[in-house]
Amino acid sequence: MARLIDSGPGCPTPTPLRGASAAEARGLSYDDAVKAETDALYPLVQDFITPMEWPAIAPLVAAINRLKKEKNAVILAHNYMTPDIFQLVGDFRGDSLQLAREAANVDADIIVQAGVHFMAETSKILAPEKTVLIPDTRAGCSLAASITGADVRLIKEKFPNYPIVTYVNCTAEVKAECHITCTSSNAAQVVEAIAAEWNTDTVILVPDQYLAKNVAAQTGIRVMTWPGACEVHEMFSADDVEQLREAHPGVVILAHPECPPDVLEASDFAGSTSALANYVAEESPNKVVLLTECSMSDNVASANPGVNFIRPCNLCPHMKRITLENIYDCLVTGEYEVLIPEDVRIRAKQALDAMMALPKMAKPLAFKTGLKPLEIEMVV
Q: Does 319 help bind ligand SF4 (rule: CB under 6 A)?
A: yes
Least distance between ligand SF4 and beta carbon 322 (Å): 11
Q: How far apart are CA 351 and CA 194, in angstroms?
A: 12
Sheet containing strand 3-5, strands side by side:
3-5, 308-313, 287-291, 252-255, 269-270
Q: Residue 231, interface with ligand SF4 (CB under 6 A)?
A: yes
230 binds ligand SF4 (CB under 6 A): yes
Is the Cβ of residue 28 or residue 232 nearer to ligand SF4 in the bound state? 232
The candidate with the shortest Cα–Cα distance to 60, out of 324, 322, 323, is: 324
DSSP of 180-194, one letter per residue? EEE-TTTHHHHHHHH
- Measured from the CB atom, the residue of 230 and 300 that comes closer to ligand SF4 is 230
When asked if residue 293 is in the footprint of ligand SF4 (CB under 6 A), the reply is yes
Whichever of 169 and 326 has its CB closer to ligand SF4, that residue is 169
Q: What angle do CA 79, 294, 215 make, to 5 degrees?
A: 70
Which residues, listed in sequence order, are joined to residue 115 by a DSSP beta bridge? none
Site string for ligand SF4, 133-172 (x = CB under 6 A): --------xxx-------------------------x---
- Return d(Cα 187, Cα 205) in angstroms, integer: 9
The three-class DSSP label of residue 133 is: strand
Contact call for residue 116 and ligand SF4 (CB under 6 A): yes
How many CB atoms lie under 10 A from the CB of residue 66?
A: 14
> Could you tell me the smallest distance in angstroms from the CB atom of residue 191 to ligand SF4?
19
Q: Which listed range, 127-135, 186-194, 228-236, 238-246, lies at the site for ligand SF4 (CB under 6 A)?
A: 228-236
> Residue 4 has what DSSP assignment?
E
Helix and strand tally (H, E) in the chain? 17, 13
d(CA 120, CA 83): 20
Looking at the Cβ atoms of 59 and 261, the one nearer to ligand SF4 is 261
- Window of 191-199, 220-228, 236-244, 313-321 that interacts with ligand SF4 by CB under 6 A: 313-321
Burial of 304 per CB tally in 10 Å (0-12, 13-18, 19+)? middle
By the rule CB under 6 A, 67 interacts with ligand SF4: no
320 versus 349: smaller Cβ distance to ligand SF4 = 320
Nearest-approach distance from CB 161 to ligand SF4, in angstroms: 29
Q: Which is nearer to ligand SF4, 53 or 258 (CB)?
A: 258
Alpha helices for 39-94 (secondary structure H): 42-45, 54-71, 83-88
Contact between 259 and ligand SF4 by CB under 6 A: the answer reads: no
- What backbone phi and psi angles, to 5 degrees, belong to 239? -65, -40
Q: Which of 192, 231 has the CB closer to ligand SF4?
A: 231
Binds ligand SF4 by CB under 6 A, chosen from 57, 165, 217, 232: 232
Closer residue to ligand SF4, CB minimum distance, 23 or 348: 348
Given 68, 248, 318, 320, the residue binding ligand SF4 (CB under 6 A): 318
Binding site for ligand SF4 (CB under 6 A): 116, 141-143, 169, 230-232, 293, 316, 318-319
